[in-house]
Structure 1
Amino acid sequence: MAAPSIPSHVKAWVYSEYGSAVDVLKLDQNVAVPHVKEDQVLVKVVAASLNPVDSKRMRGFLKATDTPFPVRHSSHLSPVIVPGYDVAGVVVKVGSQVKNFEVGDEVYGDIIEKALDQPRQFGSLAEYTAVEEKLLALKPKNLSFVEAASLPLAIQTAYQGLEKTGFSAGKSILVLGGAGGVGTLVIQLAKHVCGASKVAATASTAKLELLKSLGADLAIDYTKENFEDLPEKFDVVYDAVGQSDRAVKAVKEGGQALKIVPETPTTPIFVLTSNGSSLEKLKPYLESGKVKPLIEPKGHFPFSKTVEAFSYLDTNRATGKVIVYPIP
């Protein structure tokens, strides 16, 4: 395939100081396309999804370990950060050492390897972005770009978190925040991939039927019940909301609670290490439909409305993922 024409400058959402999206996030019409290193590919971004970590980073919650705002000292760096972890798009250029992808490949991934440790300056909320080959996988053919963009960070967090607890067939699990981006995938993976003996999950009243449709055996209305007061205890409690003091009370003797949401900046949590091999491992379950992406019905925002997308994300009411699409 002939290499497509690549512009030198593109549109990207940027910020140069910490704060909420409505205050600091700006659309820059003239951002230099990132330089492609030998182990990277350049991706024409088709869709991106937002994660709570995007908002936390922008607000300065990760300041202690964040990449410092760059200093303008080369043609490839500007003193701004382009946010965005999740991407789906098409490869338009490959570095000299890239072996697994070629121009024209449809790919997806979480492009920030260490979610909280010096995350990259140039993320996915741009028309083009450069990504290390090892962080990407070929998009499952049955998924749209929007569906693929909704998955990488959330499904890898769900899957690697379950792996960390040693979760396996015959064990029981309670998922706190079962209707969120990660929780919806933990339920499906635990039930349909790991072979859980029982899956329980919490959500608000209106979302209980959704939990059951995803595979939950027990849907708990957190507005009416305290899950820690239930007589039944669980091998694993997967805390996707940040209720660790309560979560440990629902764990069986010998079981464990895993938390992914810091309640304070110093709270120890499970942190994802992104890699394309995790996505490749999960590909059969996505292609067979055992595991399905879930996108918030009100969560589709065009590129020009990215600030509004962040504002919706920050309400914490999304069921599944918030998506930015189309990207010009």
Structure 2
Amino acid sequence: MASYSNVTIPSKIKAWLYAEHGNPVNVLTLDSDVRVPEIKEDQVLVKVVAAALNPVDAKRALGFFRDADSSPPIVPGYDVAGVVVKVGDQVKKFKIGDEVYGAVNEKSLDQDEVYGDINDKSLDRPKQHGTMAEYNAVEDRLLALKPKNLSFVEAASLPAAIETAYEGLERTRFSSGKSILVLGGAGGVGSLVIQLAKEVFGASRVAATSSTGKLDLLKSLGADSAIDYTKENFEDLSEKFDVVYDAVGQTESAIRAVKEGGSVVTVVGGVNPPAFKFFLASKGSILEKLNPFIESQKIKPVIDPRGTFSFSRVLEAFSYLGTGRVTGEIVIHSIP
């Protein structure tokens, strides 16, 4: 990795952006004349080394969150791993040269909001300038030091997915000795829910669903039971669970698989009680809490076998994301 202690920060950078909503494959363009973001006193400037794509990026481009979104032009991307090259006056947490990662495309909050309730802010006027760019300005509270054992690609794959997985489990009050069923266990969020439930929260039993070819992956992540949804309906099982974590949008069926008094959490689609839905509020503190589990390899990133695309192939990456067949995460690397 090159030294960034004396880096010359350019005035113009390359970034993928869209000026109107639509299929990202059709509306995204690579612009080589984007102004480098100015940092505020609580922000750092990150030289982006790797950035992940998530389904929310495609939905945002399509206009699903139009009413709450910032106005185009928009640079997509929430997840980032990179190197700090400039720090704001109030930043004490990081210094130039630090390798960091985080889910960073949350809106910039006023000071009173920082100390208040910042839940569910990730889709409330998120920043126009996301991580599909050479540089990104980020609040220091959204970042953590990159785990020492991970590459930038591996680190970039984690933040939004692992924070969503962790916060969803916390909101169900999941705890040691409870059982959980994970719907979509091979996806970016689901693959981490399995690991967190087992290694961090102390689940007594973890079951998860996937297609036939991904059952071995579920078991390798710690699932006690891997359910092939192409051959078996999980809601028909006699076994019921304390928590069902729905990462694929099957809430109606999920409700039939939960014990009386249990919880169903979903991050996709509509919900009916007792299920509930939430949007991630990015927190570097969650990453800091989980770093020891990552560095001890109790929690491992899951990256799709064909899921690393160069910066010039972002359109191809979005096209693959749209197939719905992604295992784990897609990462853009390297970024110039």
For the superposition of Structure 1 and Structure 2, which TM-score range results when normalised by the shorter chain?
Answer: over 0.9
- Which residue of the partner structure matches residue 283 of structure 1? 291
Residue in structure 1 matched with residue 236 of structure 2 by the alignment = 229
Contact 1:3 1:93 in 2 (8 A): no
1:76 aligns to what?
none
Aligned to 2:80: 87
Structure 2 stretches lacking a partner, 5+ long: 107-120
Q: Deviations over 1:282-312 (max 9, x none)?
A: 0110000000001001111000000110110
**Which residue number corresponds to residue 72 of structure 1?**
none
Which of 141, 150, 169 is the equivalent residue of 1:143?
A: 150
Tell me, yes or no, if structure 1 residue 58 matches structure 2 residue 61: yes
Aligned-pair CA distance for 1:271: 1.0
- State the secondary structure of the residue aligned to 2:308: strand
Structure 1 residues 262 and 115: alpha-carbon distance in aligned structure 2, compared to 1, 3 A threshold = farther
Deviation of residue 249 (structure 1)?
Answer: 0.3
Secondary structure of the structure 1 residue equivalent to 2:188: coil
What one-letter code is carried by the residue in structure 2 that aligns with 1:291? I
Q: Which residue of 2 aligns with 1:269?
A: 277
- Take 1:251 and 1:31, find their aligned partners in 2: how far apart are those partners? 49
Identify if the C-alpha distance between structure 1 residues 223 and 51 changes in structure 2 by more than 3 Å, giving closer, same or farther.
same
Please list the CA deviations of residues 88-135 of structure 1 after superposition, one character each: whole Å capped at 9, or x if unmatched. 000000011111101000000000233211111000000001000100
The answer to whether the Cα contact below 8 Å between 1:47 and 1:145 also exists between their aligned partners in 2 is yes
In the alignment, is residue 39 of structure 1 matched against residue 42 of structure 2?
Answer: yes
Match of 2:307 in 1: 299
Tell me whether 1:6 sits opposite 2:9 in the alignment. Answer: yes
Correspondence list, 1:88-237, <5 A:
88-113=81-106, 114-237=121-244
Greater mean alpha carbon deviation, residues 108-117 or residues 144-153: 108-117
Give yes or no for contact 1:87–1:124 (8 Å, CA) kept in 2. Answer: yes
Post-superposition offset of 1:263: 4.2
Q: Distance in 2 between matches of 1:269 and 1:50?
A: 21
1:326 aligns with 2:334: yes
Report the counterpart of residue 109 of structure 2 in structure 1: none
TM-score (normalised: structure 1) = 0.95
Residue 67 (structure 1) shift = 1.2
- 1:202 is aligned with what amino acid? T
- In the alignment, the residues of structure 2 paired with residue 40 and residue 256 of structure 1 have an alpha-carbon distance, to the nearest angstrom, of 37
* 1:178–1:201 contact (8 Å) kept in structure 2: yes
- Answer yes or no: is 1:238 the counterpart of 2:245: yes
* 1:174 and 1:234 in contact (8 A); partners too: yes
Distance (Å, rounded) in 2 between the aligned partners of 1:118 and 1:269 = 19
Matches of 2:59 and 2:102, distance apart in 1: 20
SS of corresponding position for 2:13: strand
* Total equivalences in the alignment: 316
Give secondary structure in 2 for the equivalent of 1:163: helix
Q: 2:258 aligned with 1:251, yes or no? A: yes
**1:262 deviation in Å?**
2.0
Contact 1:22–1:307 (CA<8 Å) still a contact in 2?
yes
Match of 1:160, SS state, is helix
Give me the whole-angstrom Cα distance separating, in 1, the residues matched to 2:183 and 2:126: 27
Q: Contact between 1:262 and 1:268, CA under 8 Å: does it hold in 2?
A: no
Indicate conservation of the 8 Å contact 1:85/1:153, yes or no: yes
Confirm or deny that 1:17 pairs with 2:41: no
Offset at residue 2 of structure 1 (A): 4.1
Deviations 1:35-72 (A, max 9, x none): 11111000000000000000000000111211123xxx
Report the 3-state secondary structure (helix = DSSP H, G, I; strand = E; otherwise coil) of the residue aligned with 1:182.
Answer: helix
Distance in 1, matches of 2:62 and 2:12, equals: 27
1: CA distance between counterparts of 2:126 and 2:279? 13
- C-alpha distance 171-30 of structure 1, shift in aligned 2 (>3 A): same
Counterpart of 1:312? 320
How many Å apart are 1:274 and its aligned residue? 0.4
In 1: Cα distance, 2:46 partner to 2:151 partner: 16
Q: CA deviation at 1:11?
A: 0.2
Residue pair 2:265, 2:276 contacting (<8 A) in 1 also: no
- Alignment RMSD: 1.2
Query: When the two structures are superposed, what TM-score results if normalisation uses the length of structure 2?
Result: 0.92
Where in structure 1 are there 5+ consecutive unaligned residues?
70-79
1:179 to partner: Cα distance: 0.2
* 3-state secondary structure, aligned to 1:30: strand
Contact 1:3 1:103 in 2 (8 A): no
